[in-house]
Amino acid sequence: MNKELMEALDILEKEKEISKETLFEAIENSLITACKNHFGKADNVKVEIDRETCDFLCYAEKEVVEEVEDDVLQISLEDAQEISKKAKLGDMLHVEIKSKEFGRIATQNAKNVILQKIREEERSVIFNQYYEKEKDVVTGIVQRYIGRNISINLGKADAVLNESEQVRGENFRPTERIKVYILEVKNTPKGPRILVSRTHPELVKRLFESEVTEIKDGTVEIMSIAREAGSRTKLAVRSNNPNVDAVGACVGINGARVNSIVDELCGEKIDIVNWDENPGNLIQNALSPAKIVAVFADPDEKTAKVVVPDYQLSLAIGKEGQNARLAARLTGYKIDIKSETQAKDAPGFRYEDYVYDDDEYDEEAYEDEEYAQEGYEEEYEEEDYDSVDSEEAEYDEESYEEDPEQADPEA
């Protein structure tokens, strides 16, 4: 029994995850290649390897003839009878080939065939392993900067974090562990090429799936997500169980769950709101923490008109329009935001559509009311904005408490 060969195959199978059958086939092909280099042809050469003992037999099928014209394909009757006394003219005889008789070049070629097969299989195994993780989050170790790109070790392969997929302001040190989202895995002659991202919205979604048990088991669903990497993310969630609060499950006790994700994203703010099938309610939730007086949404045109109290206009729009922009991306609606004063001055605005009671707003009475919006100066559309670099004012939906005094427009 060839113990050394068996041990070598076991190690290769364990470390590189290459099946023994593939390695046996590589050895068989290498011996056939060696025979071709030694004899000039190998059409009649066969190799058999015992999978249990690793003993191998290399032989050539030769025809028994009276006069030998090609000693690679034919054998004389006299020589054949020395191997087998039963041999006769026309028989096909198996003549053993001693691999020890191969020359140095033939042996070297056989070795190269085996190594090449091992490299190909190793690349194939790595490609398949990471191709299955495409569109998923993995943990990597920062290795070095290649120009403005970053090389990240994922274990058995290196990934590239391009400059366009980096969050502006994030700086990593070598050996630092970070989580990245696998964008694409390409199979190249030099091995798999893996592209990863830190800016993709799915990164936040996958982090919540790994952190929140309710999302993992399907009790809570992430319905929509809008992100400006490095600044703020808005997340719309809903619960499939009436006894489970979707927002509370994502936030966790004392914010433990969401805070761990915020730390992984280097302090990026995350707003979590309830999903609603009613577009008006969804838009109102998406513009949180701003208070909304009235919302009129047109599902056909995918547009929405929103009125907010005068003192809430800047909060609803957000710094450099970020809050309105993210709300538009989250809901898929073009959102037109106006203060109450601006709405009153707009043509066609009917003051009587808004009910007042002791100078306080009754918000429920205002929802879904239709009012004219011609002449509005500010519109926020999803595609009209790029990501902003400046740091956004912090609006924490969970900690926001409605102050009854703020309902008074005179306050």
pLDDT at 391 over 60: no
Tell me the per-residue pLDDT of 18-55, one tens digit each, with 9 for 90 and over: 888 888 888 888 888 887 777 777 677 888 888 887 78
The span from the CA of 74 to the CA of 80, in Å, is 10
Residue pLDDT, tens place only, 353-371: 443 333 333 333 333 333 3
pLDDT tens-digit series, residues 321-340: 999 999 999 999 999 998 88
Q: What percent of the chain has pLDDT over 70?
A: 83
Q: How confident is the model at residue 243 (pLDDT cuts 50, 70, 90)?
A: very high
pLDDT score for 376: 33
Q: What are the structure tokens assigned to 302, written together? A: 């995918």
The pLDDT value given to residue 106:
75
Number of residues assigned to the chain: 411
pLDDT at residue 250 in the model: 94
Which has the higher per-residue pLDDT, 209 or 398?
Answer: 209
Q: Above pLDDT 90, what percent of the chain?
A: 39
Find, among 131, 158, 161, 157, the residue nearest to 147 by Cα: 161
Query: Predicted confidence band at 232 (pLDDT cuts at 50, 70, 90)?
Result: very high
* pLDDT value of residue 360: 38
pLDDT, position 110? 80
200 pLDDT band, cuts 50/70/90, is very high
Contact 353, 193 (CB under 8 A): no
Q: What are phi and psi of 370, to 5 degrees?
A: -95, 135
pTM: 0.67
140-154 mean pLDDT: 93
Instruction: Report the pLDDT value the prediction gives residue 164, as an integer from 0 to 100.
Output: 92
pLDDT at site 348 = 55
The confidence score (pLDDT) of residue 405 equals 41
Alpha-helix runs per DSSP H in 143-212: 201-211
More confident residue, 299 or 383: 299
pLDDT at 133 over 50: yes
pLDDT score of 241 = 92
Q: Which residues touch 380 (CB under 8 Å, ≥6 apart)? A: 317, 321, 324, 325, 327, 328, 334, 335, 336, 337
What mean pLDDT do residues 143-152 have? 92
Sign of CA dihedral 116, 119, 125, 127: negative
Does 404 have pLDDT greater than 60?
A: no
Confidence of residue 383 (pLDDT cuts 50, 70, 90): very low
Strand order, beta sheet including 334-339? 294-298, 303-308, 334-339
Q: Which has more confidence, 380 or 284?
A: 284
Q: What is the residue-averaged pLDDT of the chain?
A: 80
| pLDDT of 393 higher than 50 | no
